Each structure stands twice: as C-alpha cells, then as structure tokens.
Amino acid sequence: MDNRSVKALRRVDLARATGCNLETIRYYETVGIMPDPPRTAKGYRCYDDIHVRRLKFVMRSRDLGFSLEEIRGLLGLVDDRAQTCAQVQTVAETHLEDVQAKIADLTRIERVLSETVARCTGDAAPECAVIDALLEA
C-alpha cells in the first residue's frame, strides 16, 4: 500500500470521518471522482486517510459551487502532480466569474420580486400584482 496510512476504514467510517452521505460516496466512486478503494482478502472495501482527504477536498469544492467536471479537472492536476498555481487559478477565476454572474442574476430577480410584491395589496380581491407581472412576461 504505497505511502498510505495503515488505518483501514469501512465506507461507513469514511462517511463518519467526512460527514458525507454513504450514497454520495457510492456516487462519487461510480462517476470516478473517488478512486476504487483496495479490498481486503474477504472483499471488503478498505479506505484510508488518503480517501478521507480526497473526499473532504471534493466536499469543500462542492460547497464552493464547483461542478463535478471542474472538480475532476482539479483532481486530475493533483493526481498527475502536474498542477501549477496558474492552472488552478484559471479554473478558480472562471468559476468565480460564474458565481458573480449568478449573484447578479439573483440580485436582479430579488429586485423585480421585491417591487412586484410591494405592489400587491394582499387583500381578497381577485386582481393580483404578482399574477399580473407573471402574465406580462
């Protein structure tokens, strides 16, 4: 087992160590984000600290809104030990631009909804500013 820790973890232990759902771990293995773990002689999966670290990387990346493809690209750079800060920066900057565009869209949506809701009387009349605004679009 190369330079990996000797501490063997079952999938449930990996889930506990990272706070990740068991089904999510299975999914990440299926789509190739998490490598297949070695198995014991009896066929049990045997995770270690390398898996814990990688899964935490994936989870943190997801928390920051990176797509699985972006994460796959970052992990590819790490796995090949060929990453340069410039390559990682390019991925992060592109993602930051996407996040900023989403924030701008959400800000616009908030403004329009706020203005529309403010025009709504909230009474029992059938006329409604929110419905009218939606019908106009």
Contact 11, 47 (CB under 8 A): yes
Where b means 16+ CB within 10 Å and e means fewer, 78-96 reads eeeeebeeeeeeebeeebe
92 or 4, which is more confident: 92
Distances (CA, A) of 81 to 74, 76, 85, 100, 134: 11, 8, 12, 30, 52
Contact 41, 79 (CB under 8 A): no
Whether residue 2 is predicted with pLDDT greater than 50 in this model: the reply is no
**pLDDT per residue over 19-39, tens digit each?**
999 999 999 999 999 998 999
> For all residues of the chain together, what is the average pLDDT?
89
Contact 74, 82 (CB under 8 A): no
Whether residue 130 is predicted with pLDDT greater than 90 in this model: the reply is no
Residue closest to 88 by CA, chosen among 53, 55, 57, 59: 57
Q: Quick one: which H or E segment has residue 8?
A: none
